[in-house]
Amino acid sequence: MKPDRHEMFEQVIDKTLAGDVSPDEERSLRLHLEACPRCHEYFSAGTRVISGLGGFSFAVDPGLQARVSTALLVRAQQLESRRLSRKRLVWICIIALVLTVVGSFIDLQFGRVAAAFLGVQPTHLRQELISYWIGPSFWLLLLFPMLPALLTPSKNRKGNAL
């Protein structure tokens, strides 16, 4: 569906009012405004709104900035205290490794008993345990050291947090 020509010019008008228009767009807009009353009215309404905002002001409580800064500082400290420390992350990785090894050993040992009970070949059950328990546990274990990088907010090219 092709966009309406007026809608395209309304977008150019919005860019013009925001001060972010190219010279070619401005020239094209000027020619269009002379011939189109609908877009001319849209431009006039936008100009009136912006000029009306020029006199808009309000008084701010002087203590407000201090309270906001204090609240932000407290929240930043709370978030910092919740972050995983490197030492704690190492212990989590060690515990995960031990649980993976012990769990895998127990699964392989009891696999023989389970194979006999279920009436399947022990090698088939062992392959299934490796595929569905040991392998995924190992790969998940490898993800633990990457947690700090995954939990840190990424930044775009301008340095703003995403």
Q: Determine contact, residues 122/111, Cβ cutoff 8 Å.
A: yes
Structure tokens at 60: 């701010």
Q: Where are the domains of the chain?
A: 5-52, 83-162
3-state secondary structure of 107: helix
Are the C-beta atoms of residues 146 and 154 closer than 8 Å to each other? no
pTM of the entire structure?
0.36
Q: What is the percentage of the chain residues whose pLDDT exceeds 70?
A: 81
Q: Which residue has the tokens 């998940």?
A: 140
Residue 134 and residue 101: Cα distance in Å, rounded? 8
Query: How high does pLDDT run on average in the chain?
Result: 78
pLDDT number for residue 157: 54
Q: What is the mean pLDDT of residues 76-80?
A: 78
User: What was the pLDDT predicted at 162?
Assistant: 47
Model confidence at 158: pLDDT above 70: no
